[in-house]
């Protein structure tokens, strides 16, 4: 992860937005975006990794993130990464493929979410989800 004034702002926003959330294993949710951000190499992808679930899973909107100082390039990535439930999942993934920064963040997201060692119990639902993510990785890397 790189540290700039903007990435530090994104870290604080992500922490605050996800502070009462846990992942499927009961761990604090914030570990997930921080894990992704650690893999990023520039300001745009680091901010996007930190904020990738904020608009989708919290009350903070993309418009509010814009008002907080996140520029058009970061917001374009976040728009692509925010899945509208009305859009079929694989169509959403194909749209991400149009932006290299979004692809970089989404691949890290998919790989982390596919790591079954994070799970306390690997059930059929987890296996189906992992298979869906494998297909998404294939789409993004072909």
Q: How far apart are CA 137 and CA 130, in angstroms?
A: 10
Specify the length of the chain in residues.
Answer: 142
Query: What is the rounded distance in angstroms from the CA atom of residue 44 to the CA atom of residue 21?
Result: 24
Just list the catalytic residues.
56-57
Is 1 within 8 Å of 33 (Cβ atoms)?
Answer: no
User: Who's near 137: CB < 8 A, 6+ residues apart?
Assistant: 107, 110, 111, 114
User: Do 41 and 2 touch, CB atoms closer than 8 A?
Assistant: yes
């Amino acid at each position: 992860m790189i540290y700039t004034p903007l990435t530090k702002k994104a870290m604080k926003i992500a922490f605050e937005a996800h502070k009462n959330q846990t992942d499927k294993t009961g761990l604090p949710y914030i570990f997930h975006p921080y894990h992704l951000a650690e893999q990023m190499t520039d300001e745009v992808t680091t901010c996007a990794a930190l904020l990738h679930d904020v608009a989708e899973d919290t009350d903070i909107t993309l418009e509010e993130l814009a008002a907080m100082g996140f520029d058009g390039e970061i917001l374009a990535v976040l728009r692509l990464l925010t899945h509208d439930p009305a859009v079929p999942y694989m169509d959403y993934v194909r749209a991400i493929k149009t932006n290299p920064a979004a692809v970089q963040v989404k691949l890290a997201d998919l790989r982390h979410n596919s790591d079954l060692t994070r799970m306390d119990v690997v059930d059929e639902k987890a296996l189906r989800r992992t298979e869906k993510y494998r297909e998404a990785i294939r789409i993004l890397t072909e």
